[in-house]
Amino acid sequence: MLKFLLICTLAVASRAEVGEEEDVLVLKKSNFEEALKAHPNILVEFYAPWCGHCKALAPEFAKAAGLLKAEGSEVRLGKVDATEETELAQEYGVRGYPTIKFFKGGEKESPKEYSAGRQADDIVAWLKKRTGPAVATLAGVTEAESLIADNEVAVIGFFKDADSEGAKAFEKAAETTDDVPFAMTADDAVFAKFEVSKDSVVLFKKFDEGRNTFDGELTKENLLAFVKANQLPLVIEFTEQTAPKIFGGEIKSHILMFLPKTAKDFQDKMDQFKKAAEGFKGRILFIFIDSDVDDNQRILEFFGLKKEECPAIRLITLEDEMTKYRPESDAITAESIISFCELFIEGKLKPHLMSQDIPEDWDKNPVRVLVGKNFEEVVFDSSKNVFVEFYAPWCGHCKQLTPIWEKLAEKYKDSADIIVAKMDSTANEIEAVKVHSFPTLKFFPAGEERKVIDYNGERTLEGFTKFLESGGKEGGAPAEDEDDLDAEDLEDVDDEKDLDSDDDDEHDEL
């Protein structure tokens, strides 16, 4: 008996304690599995103490944890300091901060990526959709009013028969929508309260016109398109909180207005922008960016803009490749913006490619300086082998590479057919090369074929030399880790999502 008690005592003692901070579980490698056993449904944030995005999220994350705890929910929120718990972060593929994953049912093998906003209400709503029924049932007016009051956007299906084809389509649409609560009612009082006389679907929201009524054939696809077109404001301001909604949505064509809120004609230009947006709901997302905000300066730089050049309009597509467009007119009127968007939709616009002027001394140093205006002439000279670093001035990995790149250029400065060059890709763009991360290294061998060879090998003088001496055939093996640029990367242009420059990832995302 004594032996049994001793074993039990040791077993209990061996369990790693799961502490809490502001209702958020503090998770480590030592207590992670224990936490999943005790709380099968946990939303986990992998963060870095120095990360600005993480600091902004922290109070909202804690607020969401408190709301769920107060409701008696079994769903918990947890956090992992990924700079300390590196093994745990690596296990779950953490490449940037914050990374948020949902572990459901105690299953730790394939957690679901969190895909909604970073406000407490967004977090709670997303978790309730993930753990509860896709469609809530509203028994009366009070429940319906509470749903609308508690959510920025809510969709209610008014159906007398829950087994009707329309109601079934509504449920299917709800099952595939994570960030908006869906509810259904057959109560006559609720119909009367919201002046609905027949089976219908209404989207309620706390902005613009306040509500939208679905009009058309009740199918899953039509309902999803309806929600997508109406769940965001006509014009949405780019902020830390709205960024996930902007870049996590299905609308990948965005028109941006850069304008300081302090401008005397701010409201007039905003009214013009909003008026233009009315005709492109569900097709183009209209985004306003306060050009005076310090955190937005990197975004201006990405579009080749300076504060004094604002107000300005730009359009961007975030499909397979990121493409930017610039209107011919600087006027910010509803008419000019509508015309610009229509030309884009009709495929009549050419991408806007930035370029600096060619420096007078671009070829005076061993490392040749390329810009958009001299790129073609230098790189595709059929008699030259050209090795180019595409960099960003703020990129830590690029700065680390600089002395090695300069030594390489010095080694080949007297070569008749080898050129070592660099191009600032934050200020210059070319059609021939899409830069997905920094630094990007590409080799353009001599010849008429205009070949482009990626270099992903060791960033050493020896590695580069071997690669060049072999004509781009040796030493350029793919690296294990490379960050590709996707729709979410523009959200992180302030470079706070990137991992520490000393980690294994040798690229800075744009």
- CA–CA separation, 60 vs 63, rounded Å? 5
What are the φ and ψ backbone dihedral angles of 224, each rounded to 5 degrees?
-65, -40
Say which residues have a Cβ less than 8 Å from residue 424's Cβ, sequence separation at least 6: 356, 371, 391, 392, 393
Give the pair of three-digit tokens for residue 430: 């070319």
How far, in Å, CA of 179 to CA of 185, rounded? 20
Verify whether residue 310 is a known catalytic residue.
Answer: no
Single-letter code of the amino acid located at 302 = F
Strand ranges of the sheet holding 453-454, from the earlier edge strand across to the other edge: 367-370, 418-424, 385-391, 440-444, 453-454
CB 344 within 8 A of CB 323: no
Q: Is residue 77 a contact partner of residue 131, using CB atoms and an 8 Å limit? A: no
Name the active-site residue from 8, 310, 341, 395. 395
Active site residue 51: yes
Q: Where are the beta strands (DSSP E) in 186-278?
A: 200-205, 211-213, 235-237, 253-258
Please give the single-letter amino acid code of residue 259. Answer: L
Largest CA distance in the chain: 89
Contact criterion met (CB below 8 Å) for 210 and 204: yes
State phi, psi for 254 to the nearest 5 degrees: -125, 130
Q: Strand 211-213 and strand 182-185: pairing? A: unpaired
Rounded distance, CA 177 to CA 332, Å?
Answer: 35
Q: Which long-range contacts (CB under 8 A, 24 or more apart) does 248-251 make?
A: 248/115, 248/116, 248/487, 248/488, 249/285, 251/282, 251/283, 251/284, 251/285
Cis amide prior to 233 (ω within 30 degrees): no
| Catalytic (active site) residue 54 | yes
Catalytic residues: 51, 54, 395, 398
